[in-house]
Amino acid sequence: MEGALLILILLVVAAIGVAVYASSKASSRRTATSLADAQADARRVIERLGGQVFALSATDGAAKQALADASERYTAASSQMEQATTPRQAQLAKESAMEGLYYVRAARTAMGMDPGPELESLSGQRTAGTVTEDRRIAFEGREIEASPAPSERTPNYYPGGRVAGRPVPAGWYSEPWWKPALVAGAWGVGSALLFSSLFSGMAGVGYGAQGFENGYGEGFQDGLAAGQDGGGFDGGDGGDFGGGDWGGGGDFGGGDFGGFEF
């Protein structure tokens, strides 16, 4: 009797072991498949970006700057792709390449060319809003401009998204005032004042200095109101409170553009 019970116990243990092993193998296969799919998707976008970067030749300052940024994203995405060992890392490489494609569209627009097909939205892009009018402000001894269109005064494009956890609207700027935070991972003293002065009351940028400081984007208040009404809180277009992972957005050379201290 005791021998039969011992055999039964051994059979149960063996069955559990086989089940655990089979589950582990299946999980490994799913992970490998997900990684392969993510890598293939990222490579597709990276190759598309590379083809555009190498095929285009800029004809003016705004286009040259946009293509330079696109080239930097291509380099970053390619490097990330080489090191990607998880689906998430491959997705980050794709995001970097997608940012580059937005810069390519900006360059084509600056040169009066067809910008090409619409692109996938970037992380945090909708929450950041868009520059909808020309603005010029005096800030710490220099003039900073924002515009919905490229010009000699506004040659620096940004596709919109989060930088160091705060939303930066899509548009053309006189200087890349967001890059010190992109490099350092944190905003300097006075960044909220700069933001408020540049975008206060602008349609398309539905948040002020306090929202900028807290990382809120356009649509946050509407989403908050919906949640308070019992409809569930998704934040509207502003429900993305992530830290803004830029997938190794690149080294922009020290990040000293004046007026920012880290």
So where are the chain's domains?
Answer: 34-110, 134-238
State residue 246's pLDDT score. 40
Question: Dmax of the chain from CA atoms?
Answer: 93
Of 129, 160, 144, the closest CA to residue 198 belongs to 144
Report residue 13's pLDDT band, with 50, 70 and 90 as the boundaries.
Answer: confident
> ∠ CA 149-132-206 to the nearest 5 degrees?
145
User: Residue 164 pLDDT more than 70?
Assistant: yes
Over residues 199-226, the pLDDT tens digits come to: 999 999 978 878 898 887 655 444 433 3
Over residues 236-257, the pLDDT tens digits come to: 343 343 333 444 444 433 334 3
73, HSE (Cβ side, Cα atoms, 13 Å): 31
* Averaged pLDDT score across all residues of the chain: 82
Over residues 83-124, the pLDDT tens digits come to: 999 999 999 999 999 999 999 999 999 999 999 999 999 988
Q: What separation in angstroms does the CA of 261 have from each of 15, 82, 137, 184?
A: 63, 34, 20, 10
